Homo-oligomer: A and B are copies of this chain.
Amino acid sequence: MQSFNSINIGVIGYGYWGPNLVRNFSELPGANVKTVSDFSPELLAKAKARYPAIQITTDCNDIFNDSEIDAVAIATPVSTHFKLALAALKAGKHVMVEKPMTTTSEESIELIAEAKRQKLVLMVDYTFVYTGAVRKMAELVLTNQLGAIYYYDSVRVNLGLFQHDVNVIWDLAVHDLSIMDYVLPEKPYAVSANGISHIPGGTENIAYLTLFFEKNLIAHLHVNWLAPVKIRQTLIGGSQKMIVFDDLVPSEKIKVYDKGIIFNDNDAESIYQKLVGYRTGDMWCPKLDSTEALRTEGLHFLHCIRTGERPISDGEAGLRIVKILEAANQSVKKQGQLVELNLTEVSW
C-alpha cells in the first residue's frame, strides 16, 4: 500500500476537527487528500468549495474500497472510532484516529492486533504531543534536566462545550493524560478519581484524577467544563528544576525554575529536627518551535508509513489512555476508591 509517490489520504468526518486534518495534509509534501467523507452534505459542500480537487462522499466505504487510498484519518464521534478504524485496517489502510482511540480497552487491543497483523501504522491523534511546548517539556525531562520527577499537576478548565456522549474526563483529561504519558518516563499503576454532574441525567462535568506511580511520583488532573475562566496550566516538579506550562499565553509558555529543596537523606533524624532548605536560582523560558502541531504530527505519520517506524502516539499509547479513562470512570463511581491499572504493552 505504501508507495514511492504521494501518500493518498482519506479523511472521515468533516465537523470540528476534520477541516484541520484536510488543511494540514493538503499542505504536506508527499501527501494528497483524495477523499473526504461525512454524513452531512452541507459539510461536504464546504469541503468541496474549499478544495475543489478533493472527492466527497457520504459513504465512508468509498474510502475503504478505494485501492489508491493509502491512509485514513478519522475525526468522528468517539463511539464510531473502533468500527471505522477496524474497517480501515481490514481494508489495508494506515490509520490516524482521534483521541480517545476507542470507548473500551478491548476495542483498542483489537485495533492494535489488527494493525500488527496487517503491518499497518495505527496512530492516535494526540495533537498536543506534537506542539513545541510539550516536546520541549519531554526533552527537559528525558535529558534529566529536572532531576527525579516528583509530581505532575495539570488544570484544564473553562466554560466549555458540554458533551452529551462522554464526560469531562473523556473530553478534557484525555489531553493531559496524553501529554503526561509522553513526557513522563514512568507509567502509573493505579488511579483514584472523583467527579460530579450538575445536569440532571448528564455526565460528569467536573472531575479530579490522582495517578499513582511505583516511583516517588504523583500525578493529578483537574478538568472542569463549568469554570468562569479558562485555565490551561501544568506544573512539573523535579528534584533539580521545576516547570510551569501555561498554554494560554502567546509566548513564554514554558518556564523552567531552578528551584528546589535541599535535605540530607542519610541523616533521617535531622528531618525531624530542622527545616528543609530551599534553593532558588534563575528562571528560564526556552524558545519553542512554533510549527503547527498538526503539521509536525502529519509529517510524523507519513514518516512512519514510509519507514514502518513506530509512531510516538501509537496504538499502545492509545490503549494506555483508554485504560486510564476506564479506570477513572470506575473510581468516580466509587467516590475515589483506588482502581489498579495494567499498562504493560500488549504487542510490538
Binding site for B on A (CB under 8 A): 49-50, 52, 150-151, 153, 155, 157, 159, 161-162, 164, 190, 192, 194-196, 198-202, 206, 208, 210, 212, 216-218, 220, 222, 224, 226-230, 235, 237, 239, 242-244, 248, 250-252, 255, 257-261, 263, 265, 268, 271-276, 278, 280-287, 331, 334-338
CB distance from A170 to the nearest CB of B (A): 16
Contact assessment for B199 and A335 in the assembled complex, using a CB-CB cutoff below 8 Å? no
Residue of A159, A206, A250 ringed by the most chain B CB atoms within 10 A: A159
Subset of 6 A-B contacts with CB under 8 Å? A150-B226, A164-B273, A201-B268, A220-B222, A226-B261, A229-B235
Give me 15 other A-B pairs in contact (C-beta within 8 A), A199-B263, A282-B286, A284-B285 excluded: A151-B206, A155-B155, A157-B235, A159-B261, A159-B280, A164-B275, A194-B212, A198-B216, A199-B261, A226-B260, A229-B257, A248-B250, A280-B287, A283-B285, A336-B337
Given contacts A244-B228, A336-B337, A337-B338, contact A284 B287 (CB under 8 A): no
Bound state CA distance, A321 and B7, in angstroms?
54
Chain B residues near A230 (CB-CB < 8 A): 250
Q: Which residues of B contact A162 (CB under 8 A)?
A: 261, 275-276
Q: Are B242 and A237 neighbours in the complex by a CB distance under 8 Å?
A: no
Q: Is the CB of A276 within 8 A of B244?
A: no
Instruction: Choose from B218, B235, B286 the contact partner of A194 (Cβ within 8 Å).
Output: B218
Are A228 and B257 touching (Cβ within 8 A)? yes
B222 x A196 contact (CB < 8 A): no
- Bound-state CA distance A267–B336 (Å) is 31
CB < 8 Å: which of B200, B217, B248, B283 contacts A265?
B200
**Chain B residues near A49 (CB-CB < 8 A):** 52
Q: A216 touches which one: B196, B243, B335 (CB < 8 A)?
A: B196
Q: Which residues of B contact A201 (CB under 8 A)?
A: 268, 271-272
A172 shortest CB reach to chain B, Å: 15
Residue of B at shortest CB range from A206?
Answer: B151
Q: Which of chain B's residues has its CB closest to A283's CB?
A: B285
State how many angstroms separate the Cβ of A265 from the closest Cβ of chain B.
Answer: 5
Bound Cα distance from A271 to B229, whole angstroms: 24
Report whether B259 and A228 are in contact in the complex, using a CB–CB cutoff of 8 Å.
yes
Bound Cα distance from A337 to B257, whole angstroms = 34
Output the least CB separation between A269 and chain B (Å).
8
Q: Which residues of the other chain, B, contact A194 by a CB distance below 8 angstroms?
A: 192, 210, 212, 218, 220
Provide the residues of chain B in CB contact with A275, threshold 8 Å. 161-162, 164
Instruction: Please give, as numbers and ranges, the residues of chain B lying within 8 Å of A150 by CB-CB distance.
Output: 196, 198, 206, 226
Best-surrounded residue of A164, A192, A275 (most CB of chain B within 10 A)? A192
Beta-carbon contact of A272 and B164 below 8 Å: yes
Q: Which residues of B contact A274 (CB under 8 A)?
A: 164
Contact (Cβ within 8 A) A190 B229: no
Q: Are B237 and A226 in contact (CB under 8 A)?
A: yes
- Which of B155, B228, B255, B257 is A237 in contact with, Cβ under 8 Å? B228
User: Residues of B contacting A243 with CB < 8 Å?
Assistant: 228
Known interface pairs A198-B216, A212-B335, A275-B161; A235-B227 also in contact (CB < 8 Å):
yes
Q: How far is the CB of A168 from chain B (nearest CB, A)?
A: 12
Q: Would you call B206 and A218 a contact (CB within 8 A)? A: yes
